[in-house]
A and B are shown apart, each in its own frame.
Chain A
Amino acid sequence: MQAQTANNFDKNARAALADPVLQGALQNLASTFGTRRKAAIATVPDWEASRETARSIKSEVLGKLDKYLGAFADNAEANGAKIHWAKDAKEACSIVTGLVKERGAQMVVKSKSMVTEEIHLNHALEAEGVEPVETDLGEWIIQLAEETPSHIVVPAIHKTKRQIAELFAEKVGTDKDANVDELTATARRILRQKFAEATVGISGVNFGVAETGSILILENEGNVRLTTSLPKTHIAVMGIEKLLPKFTDLGVFLELLPRSGTGQRLTAYQSIITGTKKHPDHEGPEELHIVLVDNGRSKMLAHPVTRQSLACIRCGACLNACPVYQSVGGHAYGAVYPGPIGAVITPQLQGLAKAKQLPYASSLCGACREVCPVKIDIPELLLHLRAEITEGTSNGAVTDEKVARRRGESIAFRLYSSMWKTPGRYRFFQKLARTSQRLVARDGKIGKVSGLIASAAPPLGAWTAWRDAPAVAPESFREKWERKLKNGGKAE
């Protein structure tokens, strides 16, 4: 439905800023999550130590991912799970749809999973005549609306209650003035039927444990438990980077993830599933299939700086903290993963050429880095990606497709470097600036410039469209120093 792509970020952003309903929804997000998260992390005795521990664990796993992935597969299989290896989205979809069709299911229940969004699993299932039913309330809402999620944790955050009530009225016939409890009860009633009928349940995985072959999935609604306990077959789709070495490592991540993501000490439910049941008449699925998805992740390991983005535990805290995300929302990024982490992993997963605006869609303020539970230095990564774009390298990104060089900009920067190399040239540049600005400067300020001047100097046009710019001073500091300041002598 949306033709928004990552390379249209500027257009998407403008549209988002002009959308008052979206702006209202985003303001709600900014104020609510900040407060909740702050209160939640205050309950951890040493939050910084926990972050440091988590980061160490993730660095360990990523540095030896082949070893840990092998151990995870071995241990999961020893407990009765079947492991599938998918090198890309196409293969992952093919595996999942194959499993579903072999079992004769025409409808499957699904819990929320960003990796399944990434591989576009629902499209693949529908193309094979299978109806995927999203059971997480937020995901079900956007499924009804035929949209994509705009946030990693709260997929329908861009919608107001009013819009949701109207959507439900249109699609499932409820009252268009229904309140939140009534809307929730509607979802429960309708989806319950699907849970009762489904023979295949598809979930994601928050953490895999190498030592035991376990998978952990957390949630608040209960739909994950239903999806993974009622149907005969459970298919769990997992990004290969979602591993932890030891079972007890789950502790620190359960401390960090709910607090960072939703400001909760713990979500209502966590399920740790290790293989299949040990006796046929025990409860639970007969089969557990774990689909390991690469889709560009292994290539990211080739770059020692940007690969830390694989440590991401998909908590969404960086989105909530980001003033740019707060302004434009998730859809503007035109990618499955929005916000700061999206700006960093999308160019790596899809190639820089498909997402060349995203590394620039940031003021580098660092709020994301501050809140990331695994201490990913997102601004550092954005700077690396910007350098890769200008230098034409692509180390770590999936494809080598080069981003077209921005000739005008690189000439400008070369000029800036060479003009300001020596004091003589720098002073000349200053005189040039003072002369040329006479066209536009009044009383020490430059107001809105347009037309020819704006096209000759686009940054000046862009700046002065909304802000006054200072004129180059008639006497620079160094001239003032020379004239009077340097003889000010030592202080009293």
Chain B
Amino acid sequence: MALTEDRPSASAEIDIEERLHEAWAEPAGIAGFLTSVDHKRIGMRYIYTAFVFFFIGGIEALIMRTQLAGPNNHVLGPEQYDQLFTMHGITMIFLFNTPVLAGFGNYLLPLQLGTRDMAFPRLNAFSYWIFLLSGVFMYSSFLVGHAPDGGWFSYVPLTSRHFSPGVNLDFWGLGVMFVGISTTVGAVNFIVSAFKMRCPGMTVNRMPIFVWSMLAMAFMVIFAVPSVTLASALLESDRLFGTAFYSAAHGGSALLYQHLFWFWGHPEVYILFVPAMGMVSTIIPVFARRPLAGYLWVATSLIAIAFISFGVWVHHMFATGLPAMAMAFFAGVGLLIAVPSGVQFMSWIATMWRGRVRWTTPMLFCMGFAFIFLLGGITGVMVSVLPFDWQVHDSYFVVAHFHYVLNGAVVFPIFGALYYWLPKMTGRMLSERLGRLSFWTMAIGFNVSFFPMHILGFLGMPRRVYTYSSGLGWDGLNLLASIGGFLFGLGTALTLLNVVVSRFKGEPAGPNPWEADTLEWATTSPPPHYNFDRIPVVTSRHPLWDEPELAYAESGEVEATRAYGLTGALERQTPISTGLDAAPEQTMEIPRDTYLPLLVALGTAVIFLGLLAKAIAVGAVGVALAALALVRWAWRTEEDLR
């Protein structure tokens, strides 16, 4: 915190500290846990919860790899295997990758924007509770022995009531709608916060590149998630109410399901990939010690990817017999999307080229990411070549491809981000030695596991098979893939160990251990509840590099400028700005801790339980609870906004 001419006296300073503490204090213990609307607590919660799901999904994978380590194995029967591969996909996409990135976004956006919380703090809490409850909802399927088993994309008619009469697929269909609420609502928060809560001087082209990536991601969510909501809602309608959307015998279409699902499904992988690229574009410049090369190119590429990603979904349907020339169009667009990714790649190379790289663990993960993404991107271009896809679609080649991009090119940046930002979150550094060990184990294990799968695809091995015959040349490669998988898992466990141990024994981080440039490093580690006692004023893209001591805004008498300085921090307020150049517009009261988001989320969960159990009374209770809590939530709106 910078000094000004009017520095208060020592006793006045203590008084300010006390008043700040009082203004921002949350209840202790479980009450505070259940009612907090602090974006940092919510963000960290997202990350921890998502990592729990990551390890569960990882264990599911390792069990499958044990079954597949040899031909004709009897570790698992087909029923169990089918549930495992379905839940593995669901977990990794819906319950790990998507929320963990939202968690980092939640934690970092207000800090990087130089403000005190997100635009809708209670909505933020709500979106976390929905995520948690939807994950519990879907995993409770294991408790009743009926986990979804239709594959993570659950094609009809296999998943129709006729062919999947059990409740398994209802956990899927309802669960997908359930978790979609969290993603959508989170996206609303990201967009409005990025536009309305930037600090003075942070014009749109001075926003951190990570914010750009979260913005692009959020817009993709807004336009893509309704499609999967529809896909699963219509499926559930067919299953629970006997409608005929997907029934060919009644004029419906199984392909309609695929179109609806993949219209979301393809943007979804970019919803995951774009924030990961934003993280890499943040971390590499810090450790190369020079600004990101071609910031405008990179920002434009992120937006270009967001747009183009909506035009390629049919490549998931290349083998369904659609008209060839229509498919060729989608193949072309799929090739096109490699260009903005290539631009970002060159940017990273150029950034490092004239920089001097420091090899910290986050930087290692970024380099690992780069090579893995290079390969995954290349195979992505390959499968976009329509005739080639006709050979490798649904084979292990595609399994290899999407693990390279969704595991390697998303998970490696996430681990890098963990090593980079956890010190800010907890105030303690992670062990570099353990970090390096973890990285190399993960990198080697990853490639040993997934590279052979490309070859398995060429050798004709289908995906989603619980076993295979010997004598096809698949045995050795499968064994290798299984060994690699365990090695990769070990590598991730080393990071878990690192996180746990460093919590107690890690070196204190200080405000800016990496000598980074963005605003989150201008405050303490961990930051106080209010982030900044006075809102920083920026004059460049790299505030901490370009200004040895950051300028700060003072509170003015006018309503719109009250929240900028100490007054705002003392009264639990944060400024709202307007326009591309962040002019002061009004002041927002940050809501106090409240049970309402949790109550609305619980009501929503009860609604879904009612649908699952086909019990109208239960659903009605859920509706009532959610509605009442919502009314209470909105009741004081006018008083809250000044």
**Pairing of A with B:** no
What is the interface of chain B, defined by CB distance below 8 A to chain A? Answer: none
